[in-house]
Structure 1
């Protein structure tokens, strides 16, 4: 299990920001289950669903941004878990970009790859690997978009969500796997020890022109997502 506890360039949990967060929240005094729940809940609801400058940014940068998507939230969650002595790994996929419609619109959606690189964290708990994909979407955002999801292929998708049944979405971690985009998976890319290993092979922003365009537009996208959250 030592492999699943190491720090890396992206899993930089020895930085002062991450160490300070763990000390301030007193997470080291919790038992294993409580540690996983605390890190998961923090990344899910205190790091808002949004878009960063790239997939391959460090955990400390995601923490400073205060928002993230599937790949970057997975990096931060993994860093927190490893800092707390909890073994974890990353599982990679391609997913259908249709589930991003609503979160991404116009030219941003048009230029998004048809198959989007996607990842979730898997944590080792109770002698089994558990998927924590539900960490991607925060409650405030989910509550505003749940009824806007479109019926597609016997499921529901849109706004960064893809589920079989929109009435049975449960993202609270209770010792079992949580899912929020898995209904859109089109290809399993396998298991990786770290996000560094995964993103060197698969990356949504490795096309320079598309990357520059996305970075020009992403702040506007994130403002739009905040407006969705605040919609009454």
Structure 2
């Protein structure tokens, strides 16, 4: 299990702002169940759903940004868990771009790759590995989305969601697996000890020009669309 506790450049949990966050929230005084639950809820709701400049940014940078998506929120989640001695690892996938429709629109949607790099975090808890993916969307955003599409009672794909139960997705942790984008998975890359290893082997292949356009334009439009939903 020691390999699942190591600090890495991305999982930089000794960073001052991460240590201060842990101290301010007294997470180091809680029992194991409360630690996982409190950190999970923090990453889900205090770090808003949104798109950072890249997937492979450090946990401290995600915390500074105050927002993230599956890969970047996962990096912060892992760093906080490892800082408290909780073993965790990353499971890599691709998801269908249909999952992002609504957050990204028009020409940019048509130009985006068919498959998007995705991951969830596996946490070793009570003698078994749990799949935790339900922290990606903050509850206020998801609630507004459910209100916008209140007629939907079954499966839903779009706006960052891919679930079979849109009204009651499994995003609340109670010693269980949680999911919010699982139904959009296309390819499974398997498990990695760290996000550093995963992103070294797999990256979103946009090409240099599209990568620049995404970093400086597209992601800001996506974040604006997400804010509009959250403010409905």
Query: What TM-score range do you get, normalising by the shorter chain?
Result: over 0.9
Match of 1:70 in 2: 70
| Structure 2 residue matching 1:61: 3-state secondary structure | helix
- In 2, the alpha carbon distance for the partners of 1:122 and 1:164 equals 21
- In 1, the alpha carbon distance for the partners of 2:82 and 2:206 equals 27
C-alpha distance after superposition, 1:77-132 (max 9, x if no partner): 00000001100000001111101101111233222210111001110001110011
Q: Residue 90 of structure 1 contacts residue 191 of structure 1 at CA under 8 Å; is this kept in 2?
A: yes
User: Is 1:50 the equivalent of 2:53?
Assistant: no
| Structure 2 residue matching 1:39: 3-state secondary structure | helix
User: Is 1:195 the equivalent of 2:195?
Assistant: yes
User: Is 1:228 the equivalent of 2:190?
Assistant: no
C-alpha distance after superposition, 1:161-200 (max 9, x if no partner): 0001212213111110100000011111100000000011
- In 2, the alpha carbon distance for the partners of 1:129 and 1:4 equals 12
Match of 2:127 in 1: 127
| Structure 1 residue matching 2:167: 3-state secondary structure | helix
- In 1, the alpha carbon distance for the partners of 2:65 and 2:206 equals 21
| Structure 2 residue matching 1:130: 3-state secondary structure | strand
Aligned length: 230
User: Is 1:136 the equivalent of 2:111?
Assistant: no
Match of 1:162 in 2: 162
Structure 1: unaligned runs, 5 residues or longer? none
Runs of 4+ in 1 over 3 A off after TM superposition: 147-152
Distance 1:173 1:214, change over 3 A: same
Q: Please report the TM-score for the alignment, with normalisation by the length of structure 1.
A: 0.94
Distance 1:157 1:150, change over 3 A: farther
- Tell which deviates more after alignment, 41-50 or 220-229: 220-229
Match of 1:9 in 2: 9
TM-aligned CA deviation for residue 203 of structure 1: 1.4
| Structure 2 residue matching 1:173: 3-state secondary structure | coil
Distance 1:77 1:90, change over 3 A: same
- In 1, the alpha carbon distance for the partners of 2:208 and 2:188 equals 25
Structure 2: unaligned runs, 5 residues or longer? none
Q: Please report the TM-score for the alignment, with normalisation by the length of structure 2.
A: 0.94
- In 2, the alpha carbon distance for the partners of 1:151 and 1:97 equals 23
